[in-house]
Amino acid sequence: MVNSLFISSTHFWNAGLVRDLFEEADADWILNCCSPSGSIEDKQIWTPASKGTFSLKSTYKLLSSPVSQTVFPIPAEDWKKLWAMPLQDRLKLLLWKIAWNALPCKINTCWSASPTEQELSCSLCHNAPETLEHLFFGCQIACMAWMESPSSLNFQDLPSCNIGEWIHLILHAGPLLHLPLREHPHFILFAAILFDSL
C-alpha cells in the first residue's frame, strides 16, 4: 500500500525506499507528488457494491447489467478472433491490454493535478502527448516502422481512431486495408511485434 512508502507515523515520503523500489524517473515523479495531509488510512473499496465490499452477488450483478455488456472496446467477435490467432500468448495479451487502453503510457499514469507538457510528451518523439493511439500509430517513430513494414502503411492518411478501433482495424486488416488474405496473419504478427518493440 502507498502508506508503506512514507516515513513511519508521518506523511513524508521515505525517499531512500522509493528510490530503491522504482526506476529513477518514476521515483522522481513519486517524490514530487503531494502526500495526503490527513490521517485517513488506505483501504480497498469494491465500487460496484454499495457497502464497498466484494461479493459474488455484486460481481454477478455487474457482469449481467446491460452497461457491462456495452463497454467492451472491440466487438465480441474480435475477442474470439484475437484469442484464436496463432500468436504467442504474450502477444495476444499485449493486444488485449492495448485494446483496453491498459498499458502504462504517460497520459494513463500521470496523476499530477496540472501536468506540464514535458511530463506528458511522447518518450520517443517528444512531439505530442503520449497516448497509446499516438505511441503506436501517430508517433513519427511508429509511422516510420509502419512505412517500412511489408505492407508499407501510412496510418497518418487514415482518420483518427480510439485505440479499440485501431485494434479492430489490425484484426480486420485484410478487407479494411486491402491486404491479400494470405498476408493478413503476417500483418497481425508484425503489428504485435511492433507494439511489443515500441
DSSP 126-179: SSSB--HHIIIIISHHHHHHHHHSTT---GGGSPP--HHHHHHHHHTHHHHTT-
Is 126 among the domain residues? yes
Is 144 among the domain residues? yes
The three cell numbers of residue 107 are: 497520459
Are residues 88 and 186 located together in one domain of the fold?
yes
The three cell numbers of residue 121 are: 510528451
Are residues 11 and 56 located together in one domain of the fold?
no
Is 37 among the domain residues? no
* Residues 11 and 35 sit within 8 Å (Cβ to Cβ): yes
Is 145 among the domain residues? yes
Is 39 among the domain residues? no
Question: Rounded to the nearest 10 degrees, what angle do helices 184-197 and 89-99 cross at?
Answer: 80
Measured from the Cβ of residue 146, the count of other Cβ atoms closer than 10 Å reads 19
Are residues 23 and 113 located together in one domain of the fold?
no
| Distance set, CA 27 to CA 15, 79, 86, 108 (Å) | 8, 36, 39, 17
pLDDT confidence of residue 37: 60
Q: What is the pLDDT of residues 109-133, one digit of tens each?
A: 776 667 788 888 899 999 999 989 8
Are residues 98 and 48 located together in one domain of the fold?
no
Are residues 141 and 191 located together in one domain of the fold?
yes
pLDDT confidence of residue 102: 86
Mean pLDDT of 79-84: 88
Mean pLDDT of 61-80: 72
Are residues 121 and 182 located together in one domain of the fold?
yes
Between CA 21 and CA 125 the distance in angstroms is: 28
Are residues 25 and 119 located together in one domain of the fold?
no
Are residues 24 and 48 located together in one domain of the fold?
no
Residue 153 sits in which domain range? 76-197
Are residues 16 and 100 located together in one domain of the fold?
no
Is 38 among the domain residues? no
- pLDDT confidence tier of residue 90, bands split at 50, 70 and 90: very high
Are residues 62 and 132 located together in one domain of the fold?
no
91 pLDDT exceeds 90?
Answer: yes
Are residues 22 and 48 located together in one domain of the fold?
no
The three cell numbers of residue 185 are: 496473419
Is 170 among the domain residues? yes
Are residues 121 and 87 located together in one domain of the fold?
yes
Is 155 among the domain residues? yes
Count of the separate structural domains present in the chain: 3
Place of cell 493478413: 184
| The three-state (H, E, C) secondary structure of 96-115, written as one string | HHHHCCCCCCHHHHCCCCCC
